[in-house]
Chain A
Amino acid sequence: MKDGRFLTLGIETSCDETAASVVADGRFVMSNVISSQIDIHTAYGGVVPEIASRKHLECINDVIGKALDDACVSAGEIDLIGVTYGPGLVGALLIGVAAAKAMAYACDIPLVGVNHMHGHIAANYLEHKDLEPPFMALIVSGGHTEIVNVPEYNKCEKLGGTRDDAAGEAFDKVARVIGLGYPGGPKIDRAAKEGDRESIAFKRVYLEQGSLDFSFSGLKTQALNYLNQERQAGREINVDNVAASFQEAVVEVIADKAVMAAEKYGQKRIVMAGGVASNSRLRTLMEEKAGEKGIDVLKPSPVLCTDNGAMIASAAYYAYRAGAKPDLELDAVPGLEF
């Protein structure tokens, strides 16, 4: 507690970001430290779990220390620790969980485990101080593409998800085949701005009538087939056009389904979350399509879209307030469901 404000330390290590943050009253970011390993994993073309785990261990103390320093608070002033315990890479998760438990024990601070996906949604509480449930949430990231109804704090009803690749995964795969490399999301987003999104007809996969699920694995095959066909015909390939057309096929389906879900459940707001929520075309299209139906679209700033500790702190704060029991026997759950 400092100046009458309840302080939560959030710790996040579920993939390739070592992150910690201090958040006041579940809403105000006092510090947000993110140590990214992206440069290390680029050499391998993707995240290598064992290397990620090793790196998390080397960074975790400094990241926590800096989060406290940046917020100008001491460990003793922290009222609650929240840590991501799943879903994610098990070896990566356990660094954060072990660190959180050691700190909770050493400093006598209650600890609650946070579902990483709830954290992504909570990022919006930090960005939009007046936002309260109910709302519809759209989570798009390297590992997830999900539509979730949020009737109240800490209550998430998953309505649809991907049946194969997550949106971010599809971006990575296609970026690799067109030579843009890793990480695919930002690179495709950038190239697409120079390209014509109607130049190549990639199929939109809507699945059964009314389904809120996604399927993106076919797009990679389509991209490969297109490249082969053009190469055989001796035509030069315009990478920007491929990126723009592919991206459009992904984000159009996502936007349509998110809006459909909001209408179906009578939600007047859609909040976006996850790394791919930073995609500029997805942001624009969401606003267009939701706007036509009188639905507001809220999104966190890019720094809160990536994996971070602040969103975990916010989710932990609301879980604790709702009565989540502190747990020093917390375990990592790599396949944690919503």
Chain B
Amino acid sequence: MKILAIETTGKYGSAAVIDETGLIFSAASNEEMNHLKGMMSLIDEALSEAGIKKSELTHIAASVGPGSFTGIRIGVVTARVMAQMLDLPCVSVSSLEAMAERVLDAAVSAGSLYVVPVINARRHQTYAGVWEAEFTSDYEKKTLCPVMEEKQYMIEDLLDALSARITEKEAEASGRVQSLKAMLGNAVYFTGDGIDAYEEMIRNSLPEGLYVFAGEDLRYQHAESVARIALRKAVSGDTLTYSGLMPEYMRLAEAEQRLRAGTLSDRIRKPVKL
């Protein structure tokens, strides 16, 4: 199994190649929003680093969003057309899940219970999801279990929901644990460019010491974690044909929102009646 994974939903594009043993090679751009121009070179670089010819690939995976609409499309189109031409199946990976995957080790080391990737969607909007970090029975492997749906949240609503969860945990523990902080220290592990946009709001709404921010080295989307999730999905047969690989925008186009809400400008919708 040799999977090519593409990640273009954030500021920096990247490509990675993973084999069935989990060995990964990747290449990332250090130029912002250079996805269209740079993508083929990144793919070529990742493949040659791995010593894999494109004819040896078995799957094409893409991070399908949420994120920058334009970025999502570049990655998805590239994956779809490569899969069509090389006659390969596709694997669809959520950008948020891949971001959570990327920080899982760091979150567990920090003692965090919740991993929360937050993508800035401007004007207090975010795309986010909440995962609980769990150890499997052998205490060796760590896994992520989704506890809040991946969708568009107002940052205030997301923080309220997280506060409520912490309060709930606190109640569960009351009487048994002396110090809340001892039990829930670093409970929430934030990652993503939502930190850059909403750091102050997070600091103002959650108790100090109950959250951690991912370092900048791990904070943004990267194809390596897309590849790791893609490998698990491919092994379990969770694949698609190229035409089934679709973007996950999580938001309608603005004009479509207005059309559905009936607030599209009348001048545009109805021609002048004579």
The B contact surface, by secondary structure, is helix
Residues on B with beta carbons closer than 8 Å to the beta carbon of A75 = 85
> Does A176 interact with chain B (Cβ within 8 Å)?
yes
Q: How far is the CA of A8 from the CA of B109 in the complex (A)?
A: 55
Among listed B19-27, B66-74, B141-149, B156-164, interface-contacting one: B66-74
The A contact surface, by secondary structure, is helix
> Does A316 interact with chain B (Cβ within 8 Å)?
no
Chain B CB within 10 A, most for which of A53, A61, A62, A328: A61
Interface residues of A in 224-277 (CB under 8 A from B): 227, 237, 239
Closest to B253 in A: A50
Residues on A with beta carbons closer than 8 Å to the beta carbon of B247 = 54, 57
Check B274 against A91 for contact (C-beta < 8 Å): no
Check B80 against A94 for contact (C-beta < 8 Å): no
Q: How far is the CA of A90 from the CA of B78 in the complex (A)?
A: 16
A48-B255, A178-B274, A331-B36 given; A98·B74 CB < 8 A: yes
Q: How far is the CA of A105 from the CA of B86 in the complex (A)?
A: 10
A-B contact count (CB 8 A): 122
A57-B77, A97-B36, A328-B41 given; A107·B269 CB < 8 A: no
Closest to A175 in B: B271
Q: How far is the CA of A130 from the CA of B217 in the complex (A)?
A: 61
Check A179 against B41 for contact (C-beta < 8 Å): no
A50-B253, A50-B254 given; A332·B82 CB < 8 A: no
A75-B85, A106-B85, A181-B271 given; A98·B73 CB < 8 A: yes
Check A176 against B272 for contact (C-beta < 8 Å): yes
Chain A CB within 10 A, most for which of B38, B70, B78, B84: B84
Q: How far is the CA of A53 from the CA of B36 in the complex (A)?
A: 14
Check A46 against B77 for contact (C-beta < 8 Å): no
- Chain A nearest CB, measured from B218 CB (Å): 28
- Chain B nearest CB, measured from A174 CB (Å): 11
- Chain B nearest CB, measured from A241 CB (Å): 12
Contact with A along B68-99 (1 / 0, CB 8 A): 01100110111111101110000000000000
> Does B37 interact with chain A (Cβ within 8 Å)?
yes
Check A239 against B81 for contact (C-beta < 8 Å): no
Check A102 against B85 for contact (C-beta < 8 Å): yes
Interface residues of B in 10-48 (CB under 8 A from A): 36-41, 43-44
Contact with B along A89-107 (1 / 0, CB 8 A): 0110011011101110111
- Chain A nearest CB, measured from B46 CB (Å): 12
Residues on A with beta carbons closer than 8 Å to the beta carbon of B84 = 61, 64-65
Q: How far is the CA of A91 from the CA of B40 in the complex (A)?
A: 18
Check B259 against A177 for contact (C-beta < 8 Å): no
A44-B268, A105-B43 given; A60·B77 CB < 8 A: yes
Check A44 against B243 for contact (C-beta < 8 Å): no
> Does A72 interact with chain B (Cβ within 8 Å)?
no
Residues on A with beta carbons closer than 8 Å to the beta carbon of B86 = 106
> Does B151 interact with chain A (Cβ within 8 Å)?
no
Check B243 against A102 for contact (C-beta < 8 Å): no
Closest to B47 in A: A105
Check B273 against A44 for contact (C-beta < 8 Å): no
> Does A303 interact with chain B (Cβ within 8 Å)?
no
Residues on B with beta carbons closer than 8 Å to the beta carbon of A102 = 40, 77-82, 85
Closest CB pairs A-B (n = 7): A102-B81, A45-B268, A106-B85, A50-B253, A98-B77, A48-B255, A179-B271
A–B pairs, 8, beta carbons within 8 Å: A43-B259, A60-B80, A61-B243, A90-B70, A102-B40, A102-B81, A103-B85, A180-B271
A interface residue numbers (CB < 8 A to B): 43-46, 48, 50-51, 53-54, 57-58, 60-62, 64-65, 75, 90-91, 94-95, 97-99, 101-103, 105-107, 175-181, 227, 237, 239, 328-332
